[in-house]
């Protein structure tokens, strides 16, 4: 079934049934049933993920790749099985192209400090877009400072869409890397990755995609996308915090120097010098988040049962419903109205500070995020200090959005 026909059958998506798998969503907050609408910050965890992490510690906890004993063997097998699950999830060609990190932030820093530091020189350019999260700005600023390279930014327009005329113009002979997000966390904009990657590819420029806000909401196929690097965090994908992924094409990863040094990333060590382990271990120094990786595998398995195609269609339907309902709240202005958007509703209300909106909603058991969302340049572009942001997951329902809108109307009556 394609997305359009799913959308017309949205009532078939059993959100309430899936919601029952999430223990935290059953609790009340401030005496009210919880409406959790802060999924872009982090998602809640289903019971199979919680069980998976607990099972690791109760049954097979041991360090991996080191021990010869049974527990270590079991832990290593489970950890590497999770890596294979990640590979299949994003359709990478090889399992060794999956590097476990602490999250998106660490994955991008790895590329900046390994690939970037080795490849960039004075006058070279890194091209990003005007809607990036700080995690896809600051690592590039740091490596530019270290190498003399220059950061270029393709601006956005008033809807929060990247201006492709500017992107094309800025993709020049000195561009050495393009780094763009798949989905903006502050605006919900879905970037036109196919076009961006084709343009970069035509100039032989590699592309890193920040997939933090995409992987839990739409199927990702890194081979079809033909990106060179793809970064994401487990905790936004119904898995624990402290685990994430960097996908990289093998040819690039093979040629890159290690970033962090220590145990597991070496083949030999002497006081005269060291040699490096094979992929992916070359980039995984020290004892990793073993339980987190295994639980990430469980989250991917769980999401496979829910079905990401159906999730994408259902969340689009919720987004349309929520956007229309919010538009009718007096004095509300949506920030981010791109034609292609994911389930993020960022807004301001005349006369109300975003943080006050967040506090008022909290008293009704409604969790949203208020602030700059680690995207200060986006706030500056729209001339606001902060926005209130409701962000969706497949366990949200129309009722969650009705409660949000009702509480906002109440806040407007009280304060505006
Ligand atoms: N955005 C939000 O509330 P980490 O912290 O490493 O898991 O993810 C960083 C990150 C990178 N890119 C994008 C597009 C993101 O949205 C995030 C995290 C959260 O929007 C926390 S600031």
Number of domains in the chain: 2
Q: Is the dihedral of CA 187, 150, 201, 92 positive or negative?
A: negative
Q: How far is CA 405 from CA 139, 156, 346, in A?
A: 38, 28, 13
Last residue of a domain, one of 284, 304, 324: 304
Residue 335 lies in a domain: yes
Domain shared by 281 and 323, yes or no: no
181 in contact with ligand 1, CB cutoff 6 A: yes
Contact of 281 with 260, CB cutoff 8 Å:
no
Residue 41 lies in a domain: no
How far apart are alpha carbons 147 and 133 in whole angstroms?
22
129 in contact with ligand 1, CB cutoff 6 A: no
Residue whose pair of structure tokens reads 């350019």 in the numeric block: 125
Residue 4: which of 318, 312, 328 has the closest Cα?
A: 312
pTM: 0.97
Tokens found for residue 64: 């991996």
Domain shared by 74 and 124, yes or no: yes
Q: Tell me the CA–centroid distance for residue 133 and ligand 1, in Å.
A: 7
Last residue of a domain, one of 304, 331, 356: 304
- pLDDT average, residue stretch 152-172: 98
How far apart are alpha carbons 76 and 82 in whole angstroms?
10
DSSP string, 18-73: HHTT-GGGGSEETTEE-EE-BTTT-----HHHHHHHHHIIIII---TTT--SHHHH
133 in contact with ligand 1, CB cutoff 6 A: yes
CA angle 367, 370, 374 (to 5 degrees): 120
Average pLDDT, the chain: 96
Catalytic positions are 374
Contact of 209 with 230, CB cutoff 8 Å:
yes
Domain shared by 81 and 99, yes or no: yes
Using pLDDT thresholds of 50, 70 and 90, give the confidence band for residue 136. Answer: very high
Residue 45 lies in a domain: no
Whether pLDDT at 2 is above 60? no
CA max distance for the chain:
72
Whether pLDDT at 157 is above 70? yes
Residue 276 lies in a domain: yes
How far apart are alpha carbons 40 and 214 in whole angstroms?
10
Contact of 371 with 133, CB cutoff 8 Å:
no
Domain shared by 134 and 168, yes or no: yes
Residue 38 lies in a domain: no
Last residue of a domain, one of 263, 280, 304: 304
Q: What are the tens digits of pLDDT across the range 191-231?
A: 999 999 999 999 999 999 999 999 999 999 999 999 999 99
Domain shared by 200 and 70, yes or no: yes
Q: Tell me the CA–centroid distance for residue 212 and ligand 1, in Å.
A: 6
Domain shared by 290 and 349, yes or no: no
Residue whose pair of structure tokens reads 């997305």 in the numeric block: 3
CA angle 171, 174, 180 (to 5 degrees): 45
- Omega into 302 within 30° of 0, i.e. cis? no
Q: How far is CA 347 from CA 148, 326, 335, in A?
A: 38, 9, 5
Instruction: Give the pLDDT score at 5.
Output: 46
- pLDDT average, residue stretch 242-265: 98
- pLDDT average, residue stretch 254-272: 97
Domain shared by 21 and 61, yes or no: no
CA 253 to chain centre: 21
How far apart are alpha carbons 371 and 76 in whole angstroms?
41
Domain shared by 278 and 312, yes or no: no
How far apart are alpha carbons 161 and 372 in whole angstroms?
18
How far apart are alpha carbons 299 and 291 in whole angstroms?
12
Q: Is the dihedral of CA 194, 247, 37, 10 positive or negative?
A: positive
Using pLDDT thresholds of 50, 70 and 90, give the confidence band for residue 8. Answer: very low
Instruction: Give the pLDDT score at 1.
Output: 36
135 in contact with ligand 1, CB cutoff 6 A: yes
Residue 349: which of 361, 339, 341 has the closest Cα?
A: 361
Q: Which residue lies with its CA nearest to atom 19 of ligand 1?
A: 41
Residue 389 lies in a domain: yes
Domain shared by 62 and 158, yes or no: yes
Q: Tell me the CA–centroid distance for residue 184 and ligand 1, in Å.
A: 9
Domain shared by 248 and 356, yes or no: no
Q: Which residue lies with its CA nearest to atom 16 of ligand 1?
A: 185
CATH number of the domain encompassing residue 26: 3.90.1150.10
Instruction: Give the pLDDT score at 67.
Output: 78
Residue 39 lies in a domain: no
Domain shared by 62 and 155, yes or no: yes
Instruction: Give the pLDDT score at 414.
Output: 87
Q: What are the tens digits of pLDDT across the range 15-55?
A: 999 999 999 999 999 999 999 999 999 999 999 999 999 99
Cβ–Cβ contacts within 10 Å for residue 337, how many?
A: 16
Residue 42 lies in a domain: no
Domain shared by 165 and 125, yes or no: yes
What percent of the chain has a predicted confidence (pLDDT) above 90? 96
CATH number of the domain encompassing residue 125: 3.40.640.10
Contact of 366 with 35, CB cutoff 8 Å:
yes
Quote the domain boundaries for residue 401.
3-33+307-415
User: Which run of H or of E encompasses 244?
Assistant: strand 244-248
Q: Which of 129, 189, 213 to mutate to test the pocket of ligand 1 (most atoms within 8 A of CB)?
A: 213
How far apart are alpha carbons 308 and 175 in whole angstroms?
34
Using pLDDT thresholds of 50, 70 and 90, give the confidence band for residue 416. Answer: low
């Amino acid at each position: 079934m394609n997305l359009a026909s799913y959308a017309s059958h949205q009532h078939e998506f059993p959100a309430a049934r899936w919601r029952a798998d999430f223990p935290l969503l059953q609790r009340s907050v401030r005496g009210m049933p919880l409406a959790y609408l802060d999924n872009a910050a982090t998602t809640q965890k289903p019971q199979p993920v919680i069980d998976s992490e607990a099972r690791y510690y109760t049954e097979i906890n041991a360090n991996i790749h080191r021990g010869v004993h049974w527990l270590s063997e079991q832990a290593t097998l489970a950890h590497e099985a999770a890596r294979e699950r990640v590979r299949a999830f994003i359709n990478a060609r090889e399992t060794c192209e999956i590097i476990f990190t602490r999250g998106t932030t660490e994955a991008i820093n790895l590329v900046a400090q390994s690939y970037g530091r080795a490849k960039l020189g004075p006058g070279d350019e890194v091209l990003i877009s005007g809607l990036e999260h700080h995690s896809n700005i600051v690592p590039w600023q740091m490596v530019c400072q270290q190498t003399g390279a220059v950061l270029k930014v393709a601006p956005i327009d008033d809807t929060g869409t990247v201006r492709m005329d500017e992107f094309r113009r800025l993709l020049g002979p000195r561009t050495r890397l393009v780094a763009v997000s798949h989905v903006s966390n502050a605006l919900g904009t879905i970037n036109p990755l196919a076009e961006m990657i084709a343009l970069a590819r035509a100039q032989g420029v590699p592309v890193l995609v920040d997939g933090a806000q995409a992987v839990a909401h739409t199927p990702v196929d890194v081979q079809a996308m033909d990106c060179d690097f793809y970064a994401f965090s487990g905790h936004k994908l119904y898995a624990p915090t402290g685990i994430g992924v960097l996908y990289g094409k093998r040819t690039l990863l093979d040629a890159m120097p290690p970033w962090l040094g220590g145990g597991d990333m070496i083949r030999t060590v002497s006081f005269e010098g060291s040699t490096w382990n094979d992929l992916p271990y070359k980039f995984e120094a020290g004892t990793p988040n073993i339980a987190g990786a295994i639980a990430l595998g469980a989250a991917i398995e769980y999401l496979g049962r829910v079905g990401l195609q159906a999730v994408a269609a259902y969340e689009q339907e919720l987004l349309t419903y929520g956007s229309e309902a919010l538009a009718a709240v007096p004095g509300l202005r949506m920030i981010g109205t791109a034609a292609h958007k994911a389930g993020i509703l960022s807004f301001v209300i005349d006369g109300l500070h975003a943080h006050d909106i967040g506090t008022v909603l909290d008293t009704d058991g409604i969790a949203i995020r208020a602030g700059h969302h680690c995207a200060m340049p986006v706030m500056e572009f729209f001339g606001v200090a902060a926005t209130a942001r409701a962000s969706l997951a497949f366990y949200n329902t129309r009722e969650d959005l009705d409660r949000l809108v009702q509480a906002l109307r109440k806040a407007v009556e009280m304060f505006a």
